[in-house]
Structure 1
Amino acid sequence: MMNKIIIYSDSNNIIEPQSENVLEINDISDYVYGYHSIQDAIYNKNQLEMIVRDKYCLNAFIKMQKMYGEEKIKIKKNYYREKIEDIIDMKIPDYIKKDDLIGIDFLEKSKEMNTEKGGGFEEFVLTNILNDFFAYKSFPIKNILSFFDQLDLDVIKNNKKNKLFKKVFKSKINSWKKKTDDELILKLIDLFLSDFKNLYKNISTYNLIYTYPENLVNKLIDKEYMFIKNLNFKKDGKKRDNILNLKKIEKFIEYYLNTKKVKDIKSGEIESIIHNLSGNFKFEFNYIINIISEDPTLIDNALLTELKTKYKNIIDYNDRNKLNNLIPPDRPESPAQLDSLNEWFNWLTNQYFDYRFWLENNNKEDDEINKYSFLYSSWLFENYIKLLSTEENVMPKIITSKLGDALEDDKTIIIIMLDNFNYKYADQLIEIFNKKSYTNFKKEPILSMIPSETYINKGTLLSMNTFEVDEKPDYNKLCENIGKMYSKDAKYLSTIGKLKESEIKKNYLYIVNYLMLDKTLHENQNQAASSLPNRIKNELEAIVQIIDDSINDTNKLETEVYIIPDHGSVKIPSSRMNLIPGFDEINIIDDGYRSVKISDRNLKQIKKSDQDFYYIMDKNRFGVPHNYLIAKYYYRFKETNNSFYVHGGLSPEETIVPLLGFKKDNDNVEIELPNLNIKTKSIRKSVKNEIEFGLKNSNPFSLNDMKIELANSEMKCPNKTKYLEAVDAFEEEKILFNKVEISNNKSTITLLVDVSFNYLNNKYDKRYKFELSIKSIQENSFDLNDLL
């Protein structure tokens, strides 16, 4: 094969020599040197590359080509174009001329530009200069909001004089128009070109309110843009405050909702109202909650689920509680025929408690349910002594009958004696333990001693003695006795803080006293800074956290945790009937709300007629230190109201408590780090932006105690840190940062996001990086038709 002389035509001076051996012929004075170089190369059969920038020299070399033949001299007039085609591996359309490629450093830039987005040369240019939606063969109507979000008018304005950009933009618009005969889409494209900002604003508005009736929508959509109601595009519920007047939108929605008077709403209408709600505004949620609270029969479980889904990313823990308490559970059947403890356990845990606690949460009264409670209390009192002798699920027998096997092994056992904890919060505590990756292997009801007081129940639990109750039990000594029985070292801890301070050892028994729940429930809820459910949640989370921290420091000793409450409690409104007479003539040793101590002498003075109001507990018969009067029904010896809880009585809420067992296995922990993907592709200067992420957990257990933080110092945001209690197994959570401002004059920013979390007691952290484009604020004055 004969060596070639290659001459590159470069009249526009855009080709850079790729090596120092390439000759450059810049003007006529270089002609003689170029002529002799070509002759020498032909004679010596050498390879020669030459860049010729002078047209007279080029014409002379073309004559030499005709003289010596193209097999010896090859002249490349379109080298720059061919070089670009070679780099991007695609053909440049014929309507793109050489001059269109000049002056934009395209050859160098093309090395960095993405060539993997699909499409031809036009799509290659537009997707790299603007956004990926220009790769679509048809106008991206389905994703029009994302398309507009990513469109940077500042970039377009800066390229107005770019011949290449203008040609391919015009070609793309014409192609989109040819792809459709739909008049609405053609109109949409025309408005996209002539009035982009108003089109963007109206579509963004409709995106927030499309669920509402047409009369409201028509007030917020400009007349010229009513046709967008007939467009089929994805709604995302984002509040684009860079383009919208959100206060105006909220004002119109609130006015519309306020025309719907609560008293006038029928059951058939509530479904339509809930469907209409956008799910984008908290005031909508508050509005519907107020309606349903007035009449819970308006809603069913399907509508409740719709509300939870719509407002998932807006409502907090207290709001979710409100939702959960809207619909009453199934009403319990009459327990009149029940005559064994197991039958009562089954009825109470499967029927009664759910309904009773729903009544309590909603401050409602139900005389029939109160009578059911009285049936249980009377049965319990009549059968109490027999139950203590024959049943295993009673407080004095729990250690031996329910924990005996575990105590006989060499595993470590932690018992938390929760003061004042009934079935109301049992599932919540299980959920908190589950989020820390504990398995709940035991949940069963146990019967408290009566009266339902602390010293009686904790004393009999630890003494394992039914009829000998010490008024001031020595918990340290009682724990030591249990340890000796099971050949374990035993330690009594008076507070849970001491568990945190202790070194957890193998084959040890730790018995922890926890009193804070009792204190919280006895407090006046009207004077508390936060709601009772929220404070109970915080208390339970604190308990689990300390337990978890303590177990994490054991080098993975096999450990089981048991929750054993001493008694429960009940909230008795002042309106509930109370027929207990005064005690002016009786010497009360120690008074309580639901039970009182009296002397032997005064016990004999109790009138037979008064026994309709309370049970008489003779210390000689029941083996307690004192004689007690225990209020029947929901009567009480002191005034009560809805602001606090009391105990000492025989109601199911006071005497039936859950025994819970938990364990955890941390061996061979494998984790897939969470997938954090950014939904927002760009932000704008000089406005408050919204940045959205999706965080996916692909693990079989929850990711707990998650912290997501924007780490860029040049970003301002009222709250740069978001916290998630947990992301459940195989679930994805939406994370939204609002009112983000950028103090950066560049066109892009590397967004840094720090994520930390806990998985199966192991802590992890990872920094994620995302490239985010920075765009200018939209302006009315720019017309995209200028590019056509």
Structure 2
Amino acid sequence: MFKSSIKPHESGDIEIIFDQTRQLAGAEYEIYASNNDYVAAYVSLQTALKQQSAKRIIVYSQALQTWLVNGLSKYPFARVTPRKLTYRDLLAAKWNISTYDLDLTDLQIQQQKLLELPVEGTEPQLLSACVCQWFLSPHLDAPQFNRLNFGALMTDLVQYHRRKERLPALATAVYGYKLHLWAAHSPEFGDLIQELQTNLWGLYEQACLYKLLGKYPRALQIKCLGETSLKRLETAKLNLEELDLEPFQQTSPVYPAVLLNELQIFWRSFEKAHPTWTAQQVEELLGYSSGELACEADYLLAALKSRMHLITPTLILRLKTTFRPLLPLYRQKIEEFHAYMPPAKPSPFNPAADIQAVIDWAVQEYLPYKFWLETTRQADPATLAYGRQFSDYVWAHYAHLSYHYDRVLYRFIFNYKSLIAATPFPILLIIDNFNYKFFAHFQAACAQHALAGRVEPYLCLLPSETRSSKKGLISGKRDQADTIQYSYEKTLLENWQAFFPQHTLTYLAKAGELADYVVTGQELLVINYLEIDAELHKSYQKTALEHRQTVAYVLDHLTELLAYFIKRNHLETRARIFLISDHGSTLIPAAVPNEIEPEAFKGQALDSQ
């Protein structure tokens, strides 16, 4: 039922409405459904006249309305207004229709169930304007065809096309009516308007192809579009900026059968014509690219991985700019190209240098080049020799360094005890098997959540594996590898709680517990994070994913978890994260003999909790 917005007629106090829709309702109405209600209705109106009060009643019979009007005619002072309420009246009130510019009967309104649609108008409009706004496209309501709105128009009309069968027939009628007006007012676009009427989806496919291939050689455009369609689109100079390509890529058979196939042929032809690439060929391909096709990004990124000498910071920026619409999917892959850019080769190892000079050399020269070799799956004998020399140096000086060098793993908590104590909510994050080469990605991921930090290299304990290193880190003692009964939580409480009397020391064996963790006071939260170690072993044994991609995914999830925890508990100005790893790992090229005895570490892929 509907409440009417119809106001009493200005010329009279008595209003008798014949409601043929039987839709009106409201406390302000008296409703008389049958001719048998004549006496009751007449008495009610007569009483109102005697009291000189306004009155409005609803009747469901035109005969009853006529009888009442005739009956009240004997009162010369009575101002009686008979009215008829139709489905058109109700629809006009609900949709706020100012004028019916198309013929629409009450029967059509009933049959199409227009009054049941969840539509209500706010501003008075023509019927056709209402239909354009709610079912077609606001751009279709323009008085003539506008080439500058074509992309947005087609995006709306494709949605109309996809749900046409579920829309009222009125939508199709208005669609044809508006196109007829356009044809009369914009004859220069007659062919396009005719296509909108008879081949909407086909015109959409042509527009998508034209947008995607707009910068490719004309020969390729003709192969995909045909010369006639191409010429028509070129002549029209349509604005396709707001054209939504997603329906085309998801459901159109033209996308895989024509576009992808022809692009692959084009790329093969390009490579045949240019067996050797320079920066010029890369720029040429980027210039062709629409930037909105995943196949374009996949092809170029794969091609560049086999031509690493062409990768530069400028090219990486150019890739991001070209494929900006696809960055949510491809940002990570493009960022990885930084790792493919060769750094300077390290200077020779100096066995006579002190430990700080050796650490600086390793961090600034050796490790960047070593990580680049790992990323590009290369083995360099000189760099491998430097690594052995570094290992020999640490081993030869280990007894002295482990007791006298300040930055050895087991000293970490002690070194930061003052800063930890001064922090309202310190978080000690221990990441198992966190290779130094992943720290830059972790920093970048943290920056996305307004978390900033700095890095200080530490030497891990020997042997560099969980059994010795993590036990030493948590206990604050060097030689803990052979401890049989060992509880991280118990050791932390026994060894460190006294250093932080203002904090409650809490140990979490799984970072996932942060999702629901509620901070109740001043705590020192220790998190034993094992996911990277688990994923590295999994990726090696099962999925064969590149370690860098696997770890990047895990680190992104970790930073999101930390950022959400800090924000949810309002720790933005109180928390500080102290991150340390018990050990890292290295990628050994297939061509290099593995000097590590696998049996010695069998079964130690995952740490105990």
TM-score normalised to the size of structure 2?
0.65
Contact kept in structure 2, 1:496 and 1:543, CA below 8 Å: no
Query: Gaps spanning 5+ residues in structure 2: where?
Result: 1-9, 602-609
1:376-455 equivalence runs, <5 A: 391-395=405-409, 397-403=411-417, 406=420, 416=430, 418=432, 420-428=433-441, 443-448=455-460
Aligned length: 557
Partner of 2:7: none
Amino acid at match of 2:160: L
Partner of 1:354: 368
The structural deviation recorded for 1:301 is: 1.9
Amino acid at match of 1:289: L
Amino acid at match of 1:573: P
Q: Give the match's secondary structure for 1:104.
A: helix
1:228 and 2:244 correspond: no
1:263 to 275, 300, 309: 275
Q: Give the match's secondary structure for 1:172.
A: helix
Q: Give the match's secondary structure for 1:116.
A: coil
Partner of 1:190: 194
Q: Give the match's secondary structure for 1:91.
A: strand
The 2-side partners of 1:259 and 1:465 are apart by: 65
Q: Give the match's secondary structure for 1:446.
A: coil
Amino acid at match of 2:412: I
TM-score normalised to the size of structure 1?
0.53
1:455-494 equivalence runs, <5 A: 472=482, 476=486, 483=494, 487=498
1:615-694 equivalence runs, <5 A: none
1:532 and 2:547 correspond: yes
Q: How large is the RMSD of aligned CA atoms in angstroms?
A: 6.4
Amino acid at match of 2:316: N
Partner of 2:344: 331
Amino acid at match of 2:435: N
Q: 1:549 to 1:310 in 2, by over 3 A?
A: closer
Deviations, residues 622-678 of structure 1 (Å, cap 9, x unaligned): xxxxxxxxxxxxxxxx9xxxxx9x99xxxxxxxxxxxxxxxxxxxxxxxxxxxxxxx
Contact kept in structure 2, 1:480 and 1:489, CA below 8 Å: no
Deviations, residues 304-347 of structure 1 (Å, cap 9, x unaligned): 42476454455697x5676454434x436748899565555555
The structural deviation recorded for 1:298 is: 2.7
The structural deviation recorded for 1:423 is: 0.5
1:517 and 2:530 correspond: no
1:86-101 equivalence runs, <5 A: 88-92=95-99, 100=105
The 1-side partners of 2:486 and 2:156 are apart by: 70
Contact kept in structure 1, 2:291 and 2:326, CA below 8 Å: yes
The 2-side partners of 1:143 and 1:310 are apart by: 17
| Greater relative contact order (Cα < 8 A, sep 6+) | 1
Query: Gaps spanning 5+ residues in structure 1: where?
Result: 579-591, 595-637, 639-643, 648-788
Q: Give the match's secondary structure for 2:151.
A: coil
Deviations, residues 362-411 of structure 1 (Å, cap 9, x unaligned): 11245665676578668767877775676422345434323465379998
Q: How much identity, in percent, do the aligned residues show?
A: 16
The structural deviation recorded for 1:71 is: 8.4
Contact kept in structure 2, 1:7 and 1:75, CA below 8 Å: yes
Q: Give the match's secondary structure for 2:309.
A: helix
Once the two structures are overlaid, the 10-residue window that deviates more, 276-285 or 391-400, is: 276-285
The 2-side partners of 1:158 and 1:548 are apart by: 46
Partner of 1:254: 264
Partner of 1:237: 245
Partner of 1:297: 309
Q: Give the match's secondary structure for 1:246.
A: helix
The 2-side partners of 1:73 and 1:369 are apart by: 105
The 1-side partners of 2:166 and 2:484 are apart by: 83
Contact kept in structure 1, 2:425 and 2:522, CA below 8 Å: yes
1:77-156 equivalence runs, <5 A: 85=92, 88-92=95-99, 100=105, 103-105=108-110, 109=115, 113-116=119-122, 119-128=125-134, 130=136, 132-136=138-142, 139=145, 140-152=149-161, 155=164
Contact kept in structure 1, 2:88 and 2:109, CA below 8 Å: no
The 1-side partners of 2:94 and 2:136 are apart by: 21
Contact kept in structure 1, 2:86 and 2:106, CA below 8 Å: no
Deviations, residues 15-66 of structure 1 (Å, cap 9, x unaligned): 878756669899xxx99xx9999999999989687989989x98xx99x99x
Instruction: Considering fraction of residues, name the structure with more helix.
Output: 2
The structural deviation recorded for 1:202 is: 2.2
The structural deviation recorded for 1:195 is: 2.8
Amino acid at match of 2:415: S
Once the two structures are overlaid, the 10-residue window that deviates more, 36-45 or 280-289, is: 36-45
Contact kept in structure 2, 1:415 and 1:512, CA below 8 Å: yes
Q: Give the match's secondary structure for 2:458.
A: strand
Q: Give the match's secondary structure for 2:439.
A: helix
Q: Give the match's secondary structure for 1:236.
A: coil
Instruction: Considering fraction of residues, name the structure with more strand.
Output: 1
Amino acid at match of 2:255: L
Partner of 2:605: none
Partner of 2:589: 573
The 2-side partners of 1:50 and 1:408 are apart by: 79
The 1-side partners of 2:261 and 2:102 are apart by: 52
Q: Give the match's secondary structure for 2:455.
A: strand
The 1-side partners of 2:500 and 2:416 are apart by: 19
The structural deviation recorded for 1:471 is: 7.3
Q: 1:374 to 1:305 in 2, by over 3 A?
A: farther
The 1-side partners of 2:467 and 2:508 are apart by: 16
Contact kept in structure 2, 1:211 and 1:275, CA below 8 Å: yes
The 1-side partners of 2:327 and 2:61 are apart by: 67
Partner of 1:710: none
The structural deviation recorded for 1:487 is: 2.6
Amino acid at match of 1:254: Q
